[in-house]
Amino acid sequence: MNPTLCRRLCIAAGLACGLAVGFIGTACAQTLYKNTMPDGRIIYTDAPLPGAVQSKMLEAPPPLTPAQREAAQKRAEEDGRKREAMQGRIDERRKLLDAADERVMKARRAVDQAQIDLEQGRAPQGGEMTGNAGGGVRPNEEYFRRIGDLERAVTAAKKELDDALRARNDAR
């Protein structure tokens, strides 16, 4: 069920119950007793309970005037609007935090992959070795350029991870 619809239904049900209680209270004008039992429990009944430490008759409040009912209705509607606005802000913030978490996870995967690429790339590839006068070989400029690119990729991935972590912390 849609959360907004659910909130609206709850608000409407609460208002209906409140109005029904107000109408019942004015129609019945029933006496209500607050009974304090020896174990400390409080029980509300329509007559004093035997064995209660204290039974106190409560007076029903006077019925609401039409102006009071209208003011209560307006307050309830305003509270509902405020609640919906707050829920909208909460939902927006949750989306921002989820996006920030996703960015951090993506950046961590990029760092891991860049480090794997660097380690795997350390082995010379064809054309990256040059022969020496003594019969040996050594890495040439192509090798060092490729390794430098891989190291820069690791550095850039780490920088993106730092930025993502900072942005996520700022969003909190």
pLDDT in tens, 82-114: 999 999 999 999 999 999 999 999 999 999 999
Q: How far apart are CA 20 and CA 138, in angstroms?
A: 92
In a domain, 50, yes or no: no
Q: Residue 27 has what pLDDT?
A: 47
In a domain, 22, yes or no: no
Q: Residue 6 has what pLDDT?
A: 55
pLDDT band at 9 (very low <50, low <70, confident <90, very high): low
Residue 142 is part of which domain span? Answer: 101-130+137-172
Residue among 99, 117, 98, 101 nearest 156 (CA): 117
Give how many domains the chain has, as a whole number.
Answer: 1
Q: Residue 49 has what pLDDT?
A: 94
State the pTM of this model: 0.53
In a domain, 155, yes or no: yes
